[in-house]
């Protein structure tokens, strides 16, 4: 009997040790926002789908499938933003989200996680319960709902790892910048506190806050280096304006505001002059990104460009240059992606049913835009080389190479991983921290071509361009 009791105690102790080991692994501290951002490249939105108040297919989308996500991954994207509605899938009195809806959102998140994609899950416009109520009068009610929703969402996804990020809102409508900033910042703080309060991996999960880049401050967080900032950018006349109209912002001046078909250096029409833009082109894009870099990324807060896009219009007026218009749209995407990644901003193209992918089959609908984005990413990757301290010296040889090349790492403890990308920005080889050694041989499986080798440290990165003959 005593022998049996000792055996039972031994079993219980073993179970306890295993449980502690599993628990400590499950709730390990997640990487910093900067570490995660360094691995995020091309992003895309699953737009007009889970944020539809009429259900997932209410705006013409097909039900999201693993096949669609696989196609998005295969096309070169490694991060996906899932705009999501919760208000229309909840008891709006007690703010209890429906179990079936949480389960469906989890299915879609799991499709992405299965493909090793980074996922940004947000509360989108969602009938405007937060977006259109950034007022002192509404703040108590909105904060209560914000806390209730994010407590439920965060608890539901508590055990997910660093590939899942939460974003607290979408495009807050701050009519009064001073008052709106104060009220909206309370909504942001409620979001952060609610998520952190659920414990587990949420104590160190990267969280994303929105705002106006000229007004938004960096909110308080219970843990350092786990916040990102989000902003959107659409050139209105080129991307969003549906038709020619009187300018509504000039105080009744009677000026016509024309839809712009052309964009960027070398893409202006010599005959269709009124369709050329006079602003919101490269210089404004560069200024936009530099401001984000100064205000956020240089302060250790990575940025996501949560939405940007322009579409190839099918209803151009008579005399328009369709080929030049299509070229302009592709160039716009190239320029937006390149500028973003060069300044530490992760770009997410707003995509909707009928956009870059057939939502039913996953087939690519527009390789022209996708290839333009990938070219922008590869060029940014090739030039975005940050300085490396002498104690982080890295040698790469031979270059060019014919079979394999060698990486020599002088200070192995400072390196967290190595990624190899082809010229289109696709990740083709990866060496994680636990597979690192002072001398590493790579490239045996690569075809002839140009590649970017990126070595990541805790707070630095260095890129090399290498050629296989």
SS (H, E, C) the chain: CHHHHHHHHHHHHHHHHHHHHHHHHHCCCCCCHHHHHCCCCCEEECCCCCCCCCCCCCCCCCCCCHHHHHHHHHCCCCEEEECCCCHHHEECCCCEECHHHHHHHHHHHHHHHHCCCEEEEECCCHHHCCCCCCCCCCHHHHHHHHHHHHHHHHHHCCCCCCCEEEECCCCCCCCCHHHHHHHHHHHHHHHHHHHHCCCHHHHCCCEEEECCCCCCCCCCCCCCCCEEEEEECCCHHHHHCCCCEECCCCCCCCCEECCCCCCCCCCCCCCCHHHCCCCCCHHHHHHHHHHHHHHCHHHCCCEEEEEECCCCCCCCCCCCCHHHHHHHHHHHHHHHHHHHHHCCEEEEECCCCCCCECCCCCCECCHHHHHHHHHHHHHHHHHCCCCCCHHHCEEEECCCECCCEEEEECCHHHEEEEEEEECCCCEEEEEEHHHCCCEEEECCCCCCEEEEEEEEECCCEEEEEEEEC
Condensed to tens digits (0 to 9), the pLDDT of residues 33-78 reads 999 998 898 999 999 999 999 999 999 999 999 999 999 999 999 9
User: Where are the CATH 3.20.20.80 domain residues in the chain?
Assistant: 26-236+279-383
Architecture of 26-236+279-383 per CATH? Alpha-Beta Barrel (3.20)
What are the beta bridge partners of residue 406? 397, 441
Asked if pLDDT for residue 319 goes beyond 70, the answer is yes
Residue that the structure tokens 């209890």 belong to: 96
At 421, give phi and psi (nearest 5°).
Answer: -120, 145
Report yes or no: 126 and 86 within 8 Å, Cβ to Cβ: yes
What average pLDDT score do residues 123-127 get? 95
pLDDT of residue 136: 92
Condensed to tens digits (0 to 9), the pLDDT of residues 349-358 reads 999 999 999 9
Q: Tell how strand 227-232 and strand 245-246 pair up.
A: unpaired
**Banded model confidence at residue 383, pLDDT cuts 50, 70, 90:** low
pLDDT of residue 348: 98
**Cα separation, 78 vs 76, whole angstroms:** 7
Condensed to tens digits (0 to 9), the pLDDT of residues 2-20 reads 445 454 444 444 444 444 3
Residue that the structure tokens 């833009």 belong to: 277
Mean of pLDDT over the chain: 89
Question: In this structure, which topology does domain 390-468 adopt according to CATH?
Answer: Immunoglobulin-like (2.60.40)
**Banded model confidence at residue 391, pLDDT cuts 50, 70, 90:** very low
pTM of the entire predicted model? 0.81
**Banded model confidence at residue 378, pLDDT cuts 50, 70, 90:** confident
pLDDT of residue 415: 83
Condensed to tens digits (0 to 9), the pLDDT of residues 221-276 reads 999 999 999 999 999 999 999 999 999 998 889 999 999 999 999 999 999 999 99
Asked if pLDDT for residue 344 goes beyond 50, the answer is yes
Sheet strands side by side (includes 439-442): 394-397, 405-409, 439-442
User: Where are the CATH 2.60.40.3080 domain residues in the chain?
Assistant: 390-468
Asked if pLDDT for residue 392 goes beyond 60, the answer is no
Distance of CA 113 to CAs 73, 106, 107, 357, 401, Å?
A: 11, 10, 10, 19, 35
Q: Which two tokens stand for residue 35?
A: 């570490």
């Amino acid at each position: 009997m005593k022998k049996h009791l000792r055996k039972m105690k031994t079993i219980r102790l073993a179970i306890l040790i295993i449980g502690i080991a599993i628990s400590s692994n499950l709730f390990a501290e997640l990487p910093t926002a900067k570490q995660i951002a360094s691995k995020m490249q091309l992003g895309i939105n699953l737009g007009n789908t889970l944020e539809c108040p009429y259900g997932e297919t209410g705006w013409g989308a097909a039900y999201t499938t693993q096949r669609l996500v696989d196609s998005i991954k295969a096309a070169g994207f490694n991060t996906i933003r899932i705009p999501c509605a919760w208000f229309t899938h909840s008891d709006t009195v007690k703010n209890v989200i429906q179990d079936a809806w949480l389960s469906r959102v989890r299915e879609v998140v799991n499709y992405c996680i299965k493909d090793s994609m980074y996922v940004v899950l947000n509360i989108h416009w969602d009938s405007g319960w937060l977006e259109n109520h950034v007022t002192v009068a509404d703040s108590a009610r909105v904060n209560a709902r914000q806390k209730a929703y994010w407590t439920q969402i965060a608890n539901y996804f508590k055990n997910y790892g660093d590939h899942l990020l939460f974003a607290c809102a979408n495009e807050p409508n701050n009519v009064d910048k001073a008052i709106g900033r104060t009220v909206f910042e309370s909504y942001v703080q409620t979001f952060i506190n609610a998520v952190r309060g659920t414990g587990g991996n949420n104590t160190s999960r990267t969280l994303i806050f929105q705002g106006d880049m000229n007004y938004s401050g960096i909110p308080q967080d219970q843990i350092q280096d786990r916040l990102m900032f989000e902003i959107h950018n659409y050139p209105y006349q080129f991307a969003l304006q549906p038709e020619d109209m009187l300018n509504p912002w000039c105080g009744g001046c009677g000026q016509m505001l024309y839809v712009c078909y052309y964009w960027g250096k070398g893409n202006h029409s010599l005959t269709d002059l009124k369709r050329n833009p006079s602003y919101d082109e490269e210089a404004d894009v560069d200024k936009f990104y530099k401001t984000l870099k100064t205000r956020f990324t240089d302060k250790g807060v990575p940025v996501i460009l949560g939405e940007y896009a322009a579409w190839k219009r099918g209803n151009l007026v008579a005399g328009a240059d369709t080929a030049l218009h299509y070229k302009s749209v592709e160039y716009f995407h190239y320029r937006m992606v390149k500028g973003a990644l060069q300044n530490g901003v992760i770009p997410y193209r707003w995509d909707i049913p009928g956009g870059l992918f057939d939502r039913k089959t996953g087939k690519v609908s527009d390789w022209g835009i996708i290839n333009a984005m990938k070219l922008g990413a590869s060029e940014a990757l090739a030039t975005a080389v940050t300085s490396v301290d002498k104690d982080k010296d890295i040698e790469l040889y031979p270059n060019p190479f014919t079979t394999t090349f060698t990486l020599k790492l002088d200070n192995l403890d400072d390196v967290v991983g190595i990624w190899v990308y082809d010229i289109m920005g696709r990740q083709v080889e990866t060496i994680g921290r636990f597979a690192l050694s002072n001398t590493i041989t790579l490239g045996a499986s690569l075809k002839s071509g140009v590649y970017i080798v990126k070595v990541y440290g805790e707070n630095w990165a260095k890129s090399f361009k290498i050629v296989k003959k």
